[in-house]
Structure 1
Amino acid sequence: MTGLTHLNKRGEANMVDVTDKACSGRLARARGYVRMQPATLEMISLGRHAKGDVFAVARIAGIQAAKRCSELIPLCHPLMLSKVEVQLTAERSDSRIRIDSLCKVSAQTGVEMEALTAVSVAALTLFDMCKAVDPDMVIDGIKVLEKEGGKSGHWSADGETKV
């Protein structure tokens, strides 16, 4: 493992200088879950929530959040994303919604934070829209599944790494 890149020589928070890094195509995928009561999952899966299409609102919130990531995370670089995708899948057997994101960019730095932010805000939006009917929901399991591009090449959570 390398040292912390967001600290300068004096140990102070610092935005990483990517000036001399080459632009390359970069991709990141992330995933997270919102666990809920089976009745809540059924209600939103069938589009019967009084607030409307919960999945559509959460998807758009996640996409918008990825685009605004550098405004939310202090040391993130602003990126001109070329692709943001957020998918929500009802997993009835586990009474949860799986949220998957994909972010792409051609840049000097990666898009892991954007992918994580997309999943996080989509999950928070689901929670916000459903908290009145199910205040006991749990957001969990948010993690990067895969990243590729740049000097480090390809990495995946299942242990597959290619440079």
Structure 2
Amino acid sequence: MTEEFTHVDEDGDAQMVDVGEKAESERRAVARGAIRLTDGTLAAIEADDVEKGDVLTTARIGAIQAVKHTWETIPMCHQIPITNVETEFSVGDDRVELTVAVETVGKTGCEMEALEGVTTGLNVVWDMVKANEKDDDGQYPGTAIEGVEVVEKSVERP
């Protein structure tokens, strides 16, 4: 079986996939990931006592902005009409978990948008709390973004 790569033309050059002939359909993708943080930082987030401000609200805005601008940062990614974005944060024993659900009606999926939302949202958390996480040597031992993955994808064809 020969596999065709849709992002590469017959000369091996990168190209955007032509979705012009595809029918529009309702699409949904959900991604999630987490950032490991120290107990003190997690407590500060929950108490809304982080010097830079409301961590989770700021990260939510960043995640939504990233979803809306994915086509500008991922080569060959189509600009799609986003119909809904849902973000959910969960503060656990050693981490903040973020789940981003994206919906669209279009000719291509929204997995990249969901992944961009998660990674940017978690990067915003890190940026907001990095002063809390830094050790005496200016390092971030144990702080890590991890487990970023697409956990759901659906297509409802007409």
Structure-2-length-normalised TM-score = 0.90
Q: Does 1:138 align with 2:137?
A: no
SS for the counterpart of 1:106 is strand
- Answer 1 or 2: higher relative contact order, Cα 8 Å, separation at least 6: 2
**1:1-163 residue pairs with structure 2 within 5 A?**
3-92=4-93, 95-135=94-134, 136=140, 137-149=143-155
Give, in angstroms, the shift of residue 150 of structure 1.
Answer: 6.0
How many residues matched? 149
C-alpha distance in structure 2 between counterparts of 1:3 and 1:38, whole Å: 48
Give, in angstroms, the shift of residue 124 of structure 1.
Answer: 0.5
Q: Partner letter of residue 13 of structure 1?
A: A
Give, in angstroms, the shift of residue 50 of structure 1.
Answer: 1.2
**Greater Rg over alpha carbons, structure:** 2
Give, in angstroms, the shift of residue 86 of structure 1.
Answer: 1.3
Residue ranges of structure 2 left out of the alignment (5+ in a row): 135-139
Structure-1-length-normalised TM-score = 0.87
Is 1:35–1:97's contact at 8 Å kept on the other side of the alignment?
yes
Identity of aligned residues (%): 38
Give, in angstroms, the shift of residue 46 of structure 1.
Answer: 1.2
Residue ranges of structure 1 left out of the alignment (5+ in a row): 152-163
Give, in angstroms, the shift of residue 3 of structure 1.
Answer: 3.8
Give, in angstroms, the shift of residue 72 of structure 1.
Answer: 0.7
